[in-house]
Each structure stands twice: as C-alpha cells, then as structure tokens.
Amino acid sequence: MINGEKVNVYVFGAGASKHVGAPLTKDFLWEGFSLLPFPDAYDVSTQKSKIVAKLVDTLCGSGLETCVQDALDHHVWRPSEIPSVNIEDLLSFVDLAVRRGETWLPFEDLQDALHEFIFTTLEQTTSLYYSDHYRGRKDGELDHNRNYYDRLVDYIIPVDEINCMITFNYDLFLDQALSINNHALLGDYNIEFADVENFPQYERLLFKQRRDGDVDLLKLHGSLNWAWCLRCQRLLLAYYRRYRRIPDQSCPTCRNSQLLPVLVPPTFLKQLDIQELVTVWHRAEYFLERADTLTIIGYSFPDADIEAKWLFKRSIAKNPGHPVLTLIEPDSSVCKKVIDFLGHFFQEDPIFFDTFEEYCEKQIIS
C-alpha cells in the first residue's frame, strides 16, 4: 500500500514478448543469424554478425563463422549446430572483460557488435507488430489492441489503483501500450531526459505534469529508444528510432556525435554508470517493498543476473504486506524455481497461467 492505495507490480521478462515474435534467450543466436541470407532486406550488418560468430567460435570451439559465410554466399541458413551459450552469457562475458581492461580479444568491438546484433534481431523479428497504423472498429474508434501488452493496459490493469511495470526487455511493446491506450495513460520512465524526439506527449512528464493513473515504467536493462551522450552525460529519448541510426545522430544539446545505445547486461555485478538508471532501480525497489500484488510474466530470475535477484529478494523480504503472487510461465520447473527463490512471503498459494495470452483472456472475461 501507498497512502492507503493498493499497489500492483507487474514484472516482464523475455517470455512476455514471445507472442509478438521476440526470441527467447535460448533461441536468440539462431533467430539473429537466420536473418543473414537476406541482409539487405533485414538491414543486417554482415560485418557485425561475423564478429559475433567469431566470438562464439573463440569461446566455444564451434564452426559458426563458416556457417555464417555459407549463409551469405548461398542465401540459406543451415548451421550444423548452434553452441549452447546464450546471448546473455556472451553479453556478461564481454562486459566483464571490458571493465577489467582485458585485451586478448578486441572486447570493445565485440561489445558494439553484440549490441547491434541484439537490437537488430529484436527489431526484425518483431517488426510486424510495430505500426503507427491502427485498425478501425465498427464504431469508428481506433483498435489499439495489436497485442497482449495493449490488452493488459486497456482492459486489465486497475487504473484507479497504483500500477508499476518493471521490465527487463529492451523492446517497445509495453512502452507503446502505455502511450496509446483507452485511458490516456502514459508510462513514466522516471528519467529526466535531456531531449525528447518524436514523442511529444511524454514531455508533460518532464514538466512534472503526471496525471492520476499514469504508470511507472521501469526498464532496468535499458531500452531500444534511449541514447546516452558521452559529453553531456545525459539520456535522450527517441520514440521509435532504429538502433543503427543512434550512432549517426548528434546530441541536440551539445551537438556531440558520440551517442551510445543503453543496454545493461545481466552480469553478476552491474556497474551502473548512468545515474538515471540507478534512480530507476531504486524506484523499482520502492514499489516491490509496497506491492499488494506481484505478477511475473515470462521472467525466470536467471542465475547470472545476481543484482536483479538481490533486488527482488531484499524487497520482498522487507514487504510487510505479503502480496498476492501470480506467475505466468509454461514450464513447471521454472515456476518451482521462482517460487523457491522468492520464498514464503505471500498471502496464499500462487496463481498460475501458462502464457501471457491465457492470462489476459481470462482476466478480460472475469
């Protein structure tokens, strides 16, 4: 509770975006490299893809680089195997090497290539669901419900209560649902951006004009539409900007051309160099300590992300209210893992749903 108002916290992992085409962590390498037979059509950097493949081969002893070249030469993706290393492991390894100043591989170049590989894969696998053109209904109104993020915001969240969305995803589906909805709500990133591009309605939040019902949208690992200016040391917000355009833009404040995407890897010990992100993590802790309901959608608390696990562990342990827990996850072993990790701090047995779609459909019906 906050000032007598009920607090609902929703947590989103990769599984929440599966229904809009985003690959799960374990499938990410396959999905990303499968774009290579038609690099121009999918706006894929073949050079960056080769760098990622070479990293995988160096760490796993695989032959992925040969498969990548074959895909480019023959316009077909047919790898003999994809090593079991997942994209989050690669991010964590490279991030640690950069921070330690290791030089036995060109780790800064590898980091840049991984960032582009991740964002390009997300953009291309989910492109059908990003659209500024909405279907009209028979009553003449716009149909906002392009996916289940939209249905959650339009029909399920109790807008007369306090709602907080914590997401570990970089994509913009939740962002879009919280900017185009039946309630005229906005998602508040809790960041004072130095500049806002192509998202004029967000500017009222920068001027402290938050309205009742607006939702805290806390993106703990960064976002596709954020850029960081090295000179200003400030964050910029650009609604619907393609990843590969970020380095080509200049900061509107200082005209510096060194803009970087914002991506926080799930390393064991995060070093949050951007103060605004530190504030976002503190805000997440504030809501988790006061949550009356906790709904976890497609997030499994991966072992590598010890900072995120500690955030939830200490917050739930300090929450005096014993919230109601809802888990949306098809794998029963993952559900058990999550319940065992969170502990016995909930009012009753957890409520289970297999998929985000099932959860939304049943909540709308009820």
Identify whether residues 52 and 91 lie together within a single domain.
Answer: yes
Q: Is residue 62 part of a domain?
A: yes
Q: Residues 38-76: pLDDT tens digits? A: 888 888 889 999 999 999 999 999 989 999 998 888 888
| Mean pLDDT in order along the chain per 10 residues (366 residues) | 92 92 86 88 88 94 90 85 82 87 95 88 75 48 72 94 95 90 92 86 90 94 85 77 61 74 66 79 96 96 87 95 94 93 88 95 82
The pLDDT of residue 272 is 59
Identify whether residues 106 and 238 lie together within a single domain.
Answer: no
Identify whether residues 41 and 184 lie together within a single domain.
Answer: no
The pLDDT of residue 133 is 40
Q: Are 340 and 303 in contact (CB under 8 A)?
A: no
Q: 193: closest CA among 226, 145, 162, 160? A: 226
Q: Residues 281-291: pLDDT tens digits? A: 999 999 999 99
Q: Is residue 229 part of a domain?
A: yes
Q: How far lies 305's CA from each of 59, 173, 267, in Å?
A: 20, 23, 5
The pLDDT of residue 197 is 81
Burial of residue 134 (CB within 10 Å: 0-12, 13-18, 19+) is middle
Q: 142: closest CA among 182, 97, 93, 84? A: 182
The pLDDT of residue 269 is 52
- The model's pTM is 0.89
Specify the length of the chain in residues. Answer: 366
Strand ranges for 128-251 from DSSP E: 162-167, 187-188, 195-197, 215-219, 222-229, 234-238
CA torsion through residues 353, 359, 365, 366, sign? positive
Identify whether residues 147 and 270 lie together within a single domain.
Answer: yes
Q: Residues 97-107: pLDDT tens digits? A: 988 999 999 99
Out of 125, 160, 194, a domain closes at: 125
User: At 11, is the secondary structure helix, strand, or coil?
Assistant: strand
Exposure string of 288-300, with b = 16+ CB inside 10 Å and e = fewer, is: bbbbbbbbbbbbb
Burial of residue 45 (CB within 10 Å: 0-12, 13-18, 19+) is middle
Count of domains forming the chain: 2
Q: 33: closest CA among 16, 19, 50, 18? A: 50
Beta bridge partner(s), residue 8: 163, 293
**Residue 35: domain span:** 25-125
Identify whether residues 96 and 232 lie together within a single domain.
Answer: no
8-state DSSP, 210? -
Identify whether residues 243 and 349 lie together within a single domain.
Answer: yes
Spatial distance between the Cα atoms of 215 and 327, rounded to a whole number of angstroms: 21
Identify whether residues 190 and 311 lie together within a single domain.
Answer: yes
Q: What is the mean pLDDT of the chain?
A: 86
Beta strands 7-12; 162-167: pairing state: parallel
Neighbours of 151 (CB within 10 A): 20
Identify whether residues 16 and 34 lie together within a single domain.
Answer: no
